[in-house]
Amino acid sequence: MSSKQKLIMLPGPTNVSDRVMRAMLKPVINHRGDAFRELYKGVQGKTKHLFQTQGEVIVFSSSGTGGVEAAVLNLIRPGDVAVVPVFGEFSARLAEEVELAGGTAVKVASEFGTAPSLEELSKAMDKVGKVKALFLVHNETSTGVAVPYVREACRMAKAHGAFAVVDAISSLGGYAIPVDEWGVDICITGSQKCVAAPPGLALLSISGGVVDFLKKDPPKTRYFDIPRYLEYGSRGETPFTPALPLFYALDEALSELLEEGFTRRVQRHDEMSALLYDGVARMGLKAVASPQVRSKTVVATFYPAGVDDAAFRKALSHDHDIVVAGGFGPFAGKVFRIGCMGQVNAEYVDRTLKAVAETLKMPKPA
Ligand SMILES: Cc1ncc(COP(=O)(O)O)c(C=O)c1O
């Protein structure tokens, strides 16, 4: 990373290596030519490693929300019922997406900072009976809560004959989600989080069950038409003009990830988040999430009394060149969130903790 840049400790976008940034300077090419086909086939292969799948993968030229919207628009038809655990901003948006598509979202809600239990999900599924899909946000970026039961929830969805969709936008790469083994029908992640590429691409895994369903019941969407992406993808193309520089960057970022080794990358996220939680605890700060559900990629912490959120983050950025995020909804002004994603290492963690400790000492407003 260039020393002039700020250290981006946001829960995405996150720091991108010079190697990945430079990849975007490659020439613009014909997206219907051999050079692009080779590039995209390479990206597809590496993306399959990321999702640990032998199935299909797609890369959309859209932010993560596009990937979520694609999952909903391809699976939900008017009148369908989906179960959606709602425990923060992104899971609330997912429930809204289901409703916008004409479905009913049965929300299994829990307070910000917690996650609904598996038993609550189970009860909701039993009550609904005919569930079309479970839409589960794995890692609620807005609160720093990660559900510990992705595998079990997917199994439960299967037992109800429902599709299991997992929004792993802020977690995949920092966590392993082996989609074939765990029975995830659609898993979504974003380029700007643990993959450590620039923002602007959504990566999806698609199960055989989804492919079969869409053959019988094609989706009513053009840009996010999954069967169309799969048809073009089989020859190394995308239906619509891809964001070429971002594809170059993603290719390089995935190479970096695979060179490090997927297991090692996940371990590094474990280690760095442990250091961050330990560091904030030693400052006397309280993490939002309890240890059972705390996220490895988003460390959300309550401010001590009297700290002004905007002033704190401004000082951190101005005096230390470190950028962290504030809180969402009921946590706005009360919580700050440190991203622990992608390139995160012991030096970044150390710098961040020292800067946070120093900045918290700043004079409080009278
Ligand atoms: C869990 C989750 N879902 C969805 C999104 C939306 O992704 P994007 O902002 O890339 O559209 C985010 C973004 O932070 C997220 O963290």
Inter-residue contact 119 to 85 (CB < 8 Å): no
Residue whose entry in the numeric block shows the structure tokens 């839409």: 135
The CATH number of residue 95's host domain is 3.40.640.10
Per residue in 332-352, pLDDT (tens digit) is 999 999 999 999 999 999 999
Whether residue 279 sits in one domain with residue 197: no
Do 306 and 214 share a domain, yes or no?
no
Within this chain, do residues 234 and 287 fall inside the same structural domain, yes or no? Answer: no
Are 328 and 272 in contact by the 8 Å Cβ rule? The answer is no
Distance CA 322, CA 303 (A): 17
- Ligand 1 atom nearest residue 137's Cα: 1
| CA–centroid distance, residue 244 to ligand 1 (Å) | 21
- 276 and 133 both lie in a single domain: no
Q: Which of 259, 291, 316 is the last residue of a domain?
A: 259
Say if residue 223 is in the same domain as residue 108.
Answer: yes
Same domain? For 149 and 68 the reply is: yes
Give the total number of structural domains in the chain.
2
Ligand 1 pocket residues where CB is under 6 Å: 12, 63-65, 68, 90, 137, 139, 141, 167, 169-170, 190
Task: Tell me, yes or no, whether 211 lies in a domain.
Answer: yes
- Same domain for 277 and 254, yes or no, is no
120: in domain: yes
Q: Compute mean pLDDT per 10 residues along the chain, 366 residues long, and list them.
A: 78 98 97 98 98 98 98 98 98 98 98 96 95 98 98 98 98 98 98 98 98 98 98 98 98 98 98 98 96 97 96 97 96 97 98 97 65
Distance separating alpha carbons of residues 366 and 252, to the nearest angstrom: 50
| Ligand 1, atom nearest to 202 Cα | 10
The CA 278 to ligand 1 mean position distance, Å, reads: 26
Query: Residue 2: inside a domain, yes or no?
Result: no
b/e for 208-221, b at 16 or more Cβ within 10 A? Answer: eebeebbeeeebee
Q: How many whole angstroms separate alpha carbon 293 and alpha carbon 189?
A: 20
The predicted pLDDT at position 364 comes to 61
Whether residue 266 sits in one domain with residue 204: no
The verdict on residue 75 lying in a domain is yes
Structure confidence at residue 5 (pLDDT): 85
Work out which ligand 1 atom sits closest to the CA atom of 170: 16
Say what the pTM is. 0.97
In a domain, 271, yes or no: yes
So what's the pLDDT on residue 66? 98
We report the CATH number of the domain holding residue 296 as: 3.90.1150.10
* Same domain for 289 and 153: no
Would 348 be classed as within a structural domain?
Answer: yes
Task: Based on the fold, state whether residues 72 and 42 are members of the same structural domain.
Answer: yes
The verdict on residue 366 lying in a domain is no
- Give me the domain span that covers residue 247: 19-259
Whether 151 and 269 map to the same domain: the answer is: no
Ligand 1 atom nearest 171 alpha carbon:
1
Domain boundary residue, one of 259, 286, 316: 259
Same domain? For 275 and 225 the reply is no
Domain final position from 207, 235, 259: 259
